[in-house]
Amino acid sequence: MMYKDNVLLISPKLDKKTSKNVAEELQENLGIGYLASFLKSRGIGVDIFDMNNGENSLDAALCRDYRIVGFSVHSPYDLQESTSIANMFKNKDPALHITLGGHYASRKDLEILSSVDSADSIVRGEGEVTLHELYSNVSSPNLLKNINGLSFKKNGEIIRNIDRKVIENLDDIPFPTRYNLSNLLKFKQKTAHILTSRGCPGGCSFCVAPLNKGWRMRSPSNVLKEIKELYSFGVQTFVFEDDNYIGKNELGRKRAIEIADSLSGLSPKIRYQISTRADDLDDELLNKFVDSGVYRMRIGMESFNQRQLDLYNKRITPEKVNDIMQKVINSGIDPHFSFITFDPYVSLDELDNTVSSMQRFADNIHFRYVTAPLIPVEGSAIWKRLERDNLLNQDGTHPFKFSNPDSALVWESVQNFKKYMGSLDRESQTFSKQVFLLDENTADEELLKLQKLRKKTDFMMTDTWLNILQYSIEFARSGNCYHSDMPIPQYIKQKHDELLQILRN
């Protein structure tokens, strides 16, 4: 069999039921972009097929011959979508090599290779070097055993090679291929995503990041070079996709300050958003971020209850949570605080405290986090604890069981309200997406008007959900029997109908 020279990299369509991103068209898959640029720097032809870009045609991709077709798999939904497409390619050419990569594929490599007939290999962890070696040796199956970080099939057997060491010097990797930049620049906010570090030193007990190997950062000069290159093409807004932008050491803090100082000198200024931990922030950093153009900050606060903060390994106190939240709000930066309200051990008193605490910050807490449950990554510290405590749910309806029956009753009530609020949630997503996707000809005044309206409706949604959570707690305390067709309280109906009317008009 003569193998063709090109590689095709595919990003499956996002699952709109679970994705928190309401503007898929503004996304680029940076993981695939980095793989493509690395292969191209070695003289290999690469095509990218992003199913979230409506201009792509799967038929066109199926008409070409490739040496390798690779899929980005970060969730069970991605796997389902990828398997369906992989089967099409395999039906056309059974000798074609299909490989999968990404967080989910890396963790589930043996399971996927056992159950997905069309999958020939899994590229685990950072994929640049592993995929290049796979490309170089795919026509010599006996050599695949020498590729670190690769799991593969051979004669019906599944072989899992040793892990590959992470790339220590991220400056050595070429900037990602920007396959969708021209489309991004059509929108008002002219946004591009950028990755300035890999890994996370936070150690949250529910997260995938601690399963990776450490936090590594690109140098300030390397980051600024990419920003200025994109800036010259017309990008005005940057989303830093780092799990933890600052990093847990003095070097990371100095890097953040150096980048901020350099960006402060740009004219006109750029806008950028970052993700960080509450315990990494201080007053100097916050001021630097404001001066340099940080317009949004994502911070995993997770809880106002000490037991939950300890369970999640946040290494902070409720007092610190309140202090940092207030400082970020006072800075003028748009805060995106995330919370995990429900965990298997949560008590009604803790839920009460969550409601009263969130009410103080209701203007700045997105409604999706009011009733957010713990979703531990398989293999994480919390996952192992739930396994030991026999609190993992095996039926797939929810990640865990509750140790407190009253809290389980609150959760059941909240799920019933979610059905009632479903149409309102869809209207809210549609409105948010419309604001994100305003084209470049939209007047600034119109954009500002819509952004204010979105902020108002988000607050109204948060307020409504806080009322729902409080009602559910009070009902659990009442000792009454719960049934799914219980009537919706009139005051919640009024809030629901008012919001629906605003969003539809």
Least Cα distance to 71 among 62, 63, 79, 61 occurs for 79
In angstroms, the CA 182 to CA 265 distance is 26
Per-residue model confidence (pLDDT) at position 433: 80
DSSP structural state of residue 176 = P
Is the model's pLDDT at 9 over the cut of 90?
yes
pLDDT in tens, 70-101: 999 998 989 999 999 999 999 999 999 999 99
Q: How many angstroms from the chain centroid is the CA of residue 395?
A: 25
Q: Is residue 131 part of a domain?
A: yes
Predicted confidence band of residue 180 (pLDDT cuts 50, 70, 90): confident
Which pLDDT tens digit goes with each residue over 390-437? 999 876 667 799 999 999 999 999 999 999 999 998 898 888 888 877
**What is the CATH number for 60?**
3.40.50.2300
Average pLDDT over residues 189-203: 89
Q: What's the confidence (pLDDT) of residue 18?
A: 46
- What's the pLDDT score for residue 208? 66
In a domain, 499, yes or no: no
Beta bridge partners of 400: 392
Residue 2 — very low, low, confident or very high, per pLDDT cuts 50/70/90?
very low
pLDDT at 59 (0 to 100): 82
pLDDT attached to residue 22: 44
Short-list 266, 263, 268, 267, CA closest to 292: 263
Q: Is 357 inside any structural domain? A: no
The per-residue pLDDT for 105 is 96
Which has more pLDDT, 463 or 394?
463
The whole-number pLDDT of residue 69 equals: 97
Backbone angles phi, psi at 222, to 5 degrees: -70, -45
Cα distance between residue 233 and residue 334, in whole Å: 26
The average pLDDT across 124-141 equals: 96
H or E segment at 191?
strand 191-194
374 is a domain residue: no
- 425 lies in some domain: no
pLDDT in tens, 310-337: 999 999 999 999 999 999 999 999 999 9
For the segment 137-178, what is each residue's pLDDT rounded down to a tens digit? 999 989 999 999 999 999 989 999 999 999 999 999 999 999
Residue 354, pLDDT > 80, answer yes
Separation between Cα atoms, residue 41 and residue 157, nearest integer Å: 33
> What's the confidence (pLDDT) of residue 16?
53
Enclosing domain of residue 101: 7-160
pTM over 0.85: yes
Please answer whether residues 71 and 12 qualify as being in contact, where contact means their C-beta atoms are separated by less than 8 angstroms. yes
Q: Assign 394 to helix, strand or coil.
A: coil
pLDDT at res. 378: 82
User: Which three-class secondary structure string do you get for 196-209?
Assistant: CEECCCCCCCCCCH
Phi, psi of 199 (to 5 degrees): 85, 180
Give percent of the chain with pLDDT exceeding 90.
71
Is the pLDDT score of 243 beyond 60? yes
Confirm if 61 and 49 have CB atoms less than 8 A apart. yes
What per-residue confidence (pLDDT) applies to 395? Answer: 67
pLDDT at 468 over 80: yes
Query: Is 211's pLDDT higher than 60?
Result: no
Q: Please report whether residue 77 resides in a domain.
A: yes
Looking at 4-13, 238-247, 357-366, 406-415, which range is the least confident one? Answer: 4-13
Task: Report the sign of the C-alpha dihedral through residues 384, 385, 388, 390, in that order.
Answer: negative
SS (H, E, C) 414-481: HHHHHHHCHHHHHHHHHHHHHHHCCECCCCHHHHHHHHHHHHHHHHHHHHHHHHHHHHHHHHHHHCCC
75: in domain: yes
The pLDDT score that the predictor gives to residue 399 is 79
Tell whether the model's pLDDT for residue 17 goes beyond 90. Answer: no
How many structural domains is the chain composed of? 1
Q: What's the chain's average pLDDT?
A: 90
Strand residues in 29-140 grouped as ranges (E): 46-50, 68-72, 97-101, 121-123
Within a domain: 369:
no
The percentage of residues in the chain with a pLDDT greater than 70, rounded to a whole number, is 94
